[in-house]
Amino acid sequence: MNNSIISCNTTFVVLKLNPTDMISRALTSSSTTLCLVFLIYLCFSPSSSGNPNNFLKRGSYLSVEDDSDLLISSDNTFTCGFYGVGKNAYYFSIWFTSSKEKTVAWMANRDKPVNGKGSKVSFLRDGAFVLTNVDGSITWETNTRTTDAQTAELLDNGNLVLKDSSLKVLWQSFDFPSDTLLPHQHFTKSNKLTSRLGGGNYGTGYFSFFFDTDNVLRLIYDGPDISNVYWPNVDFDAFGNGRTNFNSTRIAMLNGTGWFSSSDRLSFRASDSSFGIKRRLTMDYDGNLRLYSLNMVSGLWTITWEAVMQLCSVHGLCGRNGICVYTPKPKCSCPPGYEMADPSNWNKGCRPMFSRICSLQYPQQVKFVKLPHVDFYGFDSSFSIGISLESCKKKCLEDCRCKAFSYRLTGEGRCFTKVELFNGYTSPNFPGDLYLKLPMHIQTSEAIILNGSNHTCKSNESTMLIGLSSSSMSETRGKSARWVYLYSFAAVVGAIEMLFIGLCWWFLFRHGIPSTMEEGYRLLSHQFRKFSYMELKKATKNFEEEMGSGASGIVFKGVLVDDRVVAVKKLGDSYLTEEVFWAEANIIGKINHMNLVRMLGFCLEHKHRLLVYEYVQNRSLDKHLFSGNVIGWKERFKIALGTAKGLAYLHHECLEWVIHCDVKPENILLDGDFEPKISDFGLAKLSQRDCNNNEMSRIRGTKGYIAPEWALNLPVTAKVDVYSYGVVILELVKGIRLSHWVVQDGDEQETELTRFIKVVRGKMQGGEVAWVNDTVDTRLNGEFNLIQAEKMIEIGICCVDENRNKRPTMDSIVQALLQCEDS
Ligand SMILES: *[C@@H]1O[C@H](CO)[C@@H](O)[C@H](O)[C@H]1NC(C)=O
Ligand SMILES: *[C@@H]1O[C@H](CO)[C@@H](O)[C@H](O)[C@H]1NC(C)=O
């Protein structure tokens, strides 16, 4: 159980605030800024030079040697000029005037620095804006030669624009971002953010944020050896990640309040979302995309959103054969039998300290070393499911190219044989192990060798502790014997660290801390987080407005301090034990799909157990379908498809396999556009094992929507959701509650559903042409799509088949519905 706690965010540690340090820095930086501004004012004051400092006229230039040759936006936010790095490398750049480190927002010549002497940026008489090096050679220029460009102006939003006499923009730096996107800057299919190479190295690096050819925003590692997309989660398709690839506009923007939205439906907001804060979205050189806010007092940046929660899942970080481990900070390491290829650069990865042997010819000369919870992403030469560890090993042995295999025990055994080892990482979450193929003579711990028969790992507490205290991860070359312990240890450290962060949080929330500090922690607490009971009590005005109640608890409407409207579900006191609660909440928090209600956080304090969800404005489906007002056909189809997508995600694509167990119109919420969002999933996060629990069956499931096998005490599978979905989709068509029981003549009882199916079957067999028309909700007055209705009835009837093996899977239902979607 504890294993799932660790899924929360490691990167919370990034911000470490030291109040006294902050104050002193703030004082020095603000006074230097003042001096600087004053100096610049003197040099550039309009009366003395006739050159106001936010624009440059045709025919003038900025010199690298003159420190005051700068353009400063009229509100002083941005400065444009020569940016010096190291001893003698200068870049024509735009940076944040009041950030302590003069953070660069844009660079013209990131890969070709110019000399600190004699270089200049000139606005030539022919309209071109040109950067020349000391020898007069052109390093960079705009495409405005032979145009009527008259002025170059640095705008308050950080955009450097060249305008002609009619003020038309001929060129703008916003069209050529480097690694940073600023608020109001359009991000389109024709540009991308590419990280720099390293801390002090501004050259073009390996990580990019861009619109992929399928219209989805992604992060990619594009290095010397390989190129790999790693975000959003590569195990899911665009829809599984809550995106869409149907909109080919490919445009995205960060607005003034810190809200980012994109045509692929990616949207997020800064945790400190509001006007008036200076922000930047930067593709960092560690492969993460982060949104930052500038603290105007200290000149330091705070992270208010980031794409990748666990840094080791960034691809390419540790190079070929390298493994990213949490120690607890993410670090690179080499597997046993390998050493760092270039001790100064992890991008070069690790090289083997042996020559390869073809295991097909010499099976006796190789062995496999187990690295627990380690995986190398990609480069699988084969994938098999439902095979034993032994057969998986055999597959790798029989393939000379196979360097290792990965074996997962979740559900059926999954076997991946690897021909290249890239993107290695260890994660306590990863439900499998890696078996590295090594020549027999390489020394490794005996305990982890697989040489024909499976040995049990004779792990020894004290050895593990030595590994823990005496060796740092990056210095373990030659100590291969301890690898098994080290990797397990890394996994454990990760878990402990996250628990620790959780505790810190709790501590900070509970105990009086300076309000600025508290603010800092709030900022970090974007997305999934823990709430205090007081906070939720305040948000819901002492649980005033009840929105509804169900088997699992009562739901209240609330407003958080950042003005987000939320739904707070108060669970019964004894609903779950503390342990289970932690585990479940963390799993649900990870689930993110547009057709599933997003869980924003939870509260676990004394007896109180509350869940905080996004607020879905249009209430649940039953309120629309079975009430006086009629919802149109288009909406009904949308709801059928969206619900199917949400369930398919839960069944097939989730990290953990989730059966909802209580699909019904009350649990399908509708947003402003009638896009359905399934609620209440994961509360009985029932894996196959738990679902057989009789008690669970009593709690979960609603009469009329429950599959027959439940009553028969058969093992519960995802097919119970398919059954319930069948009832819902037929209700969407018919517009009445089919789950109700009706009394037939005499005492015999049957549900509306049974009756409905009898009638429909009869009509279909009778070959009546108009059977669909007779079946669809009469309130629609015949306004519906015949093909869709026919498909929905067909699907519905298959879904409610008594024999669960005959019911389709949610995946195939989505496919079938997509085929008859209006285009
Ligand atoms: C595509 O995305 C853009 C920008 O988000 C939006 O304005 C437009 O309506 C979308 N088009 C479709 C067909 O959804
Ligand atoms: C596996 O290796 C161990 C240690 O080298 C050895 O004692 C054992 O007999 C081997 N088992 C088989 C089945 O080869």
Residue 104, amino acid: V
Instruction: Please spell the DSSP secondary structure of 522-537, one letter per residue.
Output: HHHT-SSEE--HHHHH
- Between the CA of 251 and the centroid of ligand 1 the distance, in Å, is 9
Query: Is 80 exceeded by the pLDDT of residue 37?
Result: no
Round to whole Å and give the CA distance between 262 and 202.
27
Q: What is the mean pLDDT of residues 393-413?
A: 86
Ligand at shortest distance from the CA of 217: 1
CATH number of 313-439: 3.50.4.10
Ligand 2 site, residue 446, Cβ cutoff 6 A:
yes
- Quick one: what percent of the chain has pLDDT higher than 90? 31
- Between the CA of 263 and the centroid of ligand 1 the distance, in Å, is 6
Of 75-89, 195-209, 323-337, 505-519, the range with the lowest mean pLDDT is 505-519
Candidates 284, 375, 662, 777; catalytic one: 662
DSSP 692: T
Ligand 1, residue 248: give the atom nearest the CA: 1
Of 183-192, 289-298, 391-400, 520-529, the range with the lowest mean pLDDT is 520-529
Ligand 2 site, residue 452, Cβ cutoff 6 A:
yes
Return the ∠ at Cα 628 (arms to 625 and 634), rounded to 5°.
45
pLDDT tens digits for 676-699?
A: 999 887 665 433 334 444 444 444
DSSP 596: B
Helix, strand, or coil (residue 403): coil
Instruction: Look at ligand 1, atom 5, and give the residue with the nearest C-alpha.
Output: 263
Q: What is the mean pLDDT of residues 763-779?
A: 80
Round to whole Å and give the CA distance between 37 and 236.
51
Strands 380-385 and 227-231 turn out to be unpaired
E-only strand ranges, 431-489: 432-439, 449-450
For residues 61 and 409, the model is more confident at 61
Q: Report pLDDT for 709.
A: 75
Query: Is 70 exceeded by the pLDDT of residue 518?
Result: no
- Between the CA of 451 and the centroid of ligand 2 the distance, in Å, is 6
Sheet order of strands, 323-326 included: 330-333, 323-326, 424-426, 374-376
> With bands split at pLDDT 50, 70 and 90, how would you rate the model's confidence at 490?
low
Ligand 2 site, residue 364, Cβ cutoff 6 A:
no
Instruction: Look at ligand 1, atom 13, and give the residue with the nearest C-alpha.
Output: 247
Q: Are 692 and 653 in contact (CB under 8 A)?
A: no
Query: Is 50 exceeded by the pLDDT of residue 90?
Result: yes
Query: Is 80 exceeded by the pLDDT of residue 794?
Result: yes
Say how many residues make up the chain.
823
Round to whole Å and give the CA distance between 310 and 325.
11
Global pTM value: 0.51
- Between the CA of 390 and the centroid of ligand 2 the distance, in Å, is 15
> With bands split at pLDDT 50, 70 and 90, how would you rate the model's confidence at 178?
very high
58-176 has CATH 2.90.10.10 classification: yes
Round to whole Å and give the CA distance between 377 and 656.
19
524-614 has CATH 3.30.200.20 classification: yes
Looking at domain 181-308, its CATH class is: mainly beta
Q: Give the Cβ contact number of residue 443 at 10 Å.
A: 12
Task: Give the pocket of ligand 1 (CB within 6 Å).
Answer: 247, 249, 251, 263
Q: Report pLDDT for 14.
A: 29
Q: Which of 188, 216, 246, 249 to mutate to test the pocket of ligand 1 (most atoms within 8 A of CB)?
A: 249
175 is catalytic: no
- Between the CA of 448 and the centroid of ligand 1 the distance, in Å, is 54
**Per-residue tokens: 33:** 């800024």
Q: Report pLDDT for 654.
A: 60
HSE at residue 23, side-chain half, CA atoms within 13 A, is 4
R_g (Cα) of the chain, nearest Å? 31
E-only strand ranges, 86-215: 89-96, 104-107, 120-123, 129-132, 138-141, 149-154, 160-164, 169-172, 180-181, 187-188, 193-198, 201-211
Give the domain ranges of the chain. Answer: 4-48, 58-176, 181-308, 313-439, 524-614, 621-819
Element (H, E) at 645: helix 633-648
For residues 560 and 3, the model is more confident at 560
Query: Is 80 exceeded by the pLDDT of residue 477?
Result: no
Q: Report pLDDT for 464.
A: 22
E-only strand ranges, 373-506: 374-376, 380-385, 404-408, 414-418, 424-426, 432-439, 449-450
Q: Report pLDDT for 586.
A: 67
Residue 34, amino acid: L
Round to whole Å and give the CA distance between 105 and 288.
17
Instruction: Look at ligand 2, atom 6, and give the residue with the nearest C-alpha.
Output: 451
Q: Report pLDDT for 72.
A: 95
pLDDT tens digits for 306-347?
A: 998 878 888 888 888 998 887 667 788 888 888 888 877 787
Looking at domain 621-819, its CATH class is: mainly alpha
Ligand 2 site, residue 256, Cβ cutoff 6 A:
no
Of 25-39, 139-153, 162-176, the range with the lowest mean pLDDT is 25-39
pLDDT tens digits for 706-721?
A: 777 776 666 777 888 9
Tell me if domain 58-176 and domain 524-614 are identical in fold: no
Q: Report pLDDT for 823.
A: 62
Of 48-62, 384-398, 667-681, the range with the lowest mean pLDDT is 48-62
For residues 337 and 629, the model is more confident at 337
- Between the CA of 334 and the centroid of ligand 2 the distance, in Å, is 26
Q: 330 has which bridge partners? A: 326
Return the ∠ at Cα 695 (arms to 693 and 700), rounded to 5°.
95
Q: Report pLDDT for 29.
A: 47
Round to whole Å and give the CA distance between 701 and 706.
6
Q: Report pLDDT for 3.
A: 35
Ligand 2, residue 453: give the atom nearest the CA: 13
Query: Is 70 exceeded by the pLDDT of residue 400?
Result: yes
Query: Is 60 exceeded by the pLDDT of residue 519?
Result: no
E-only strand ranges, 513-595: 529-530, 546-550, 553-559, 565-571
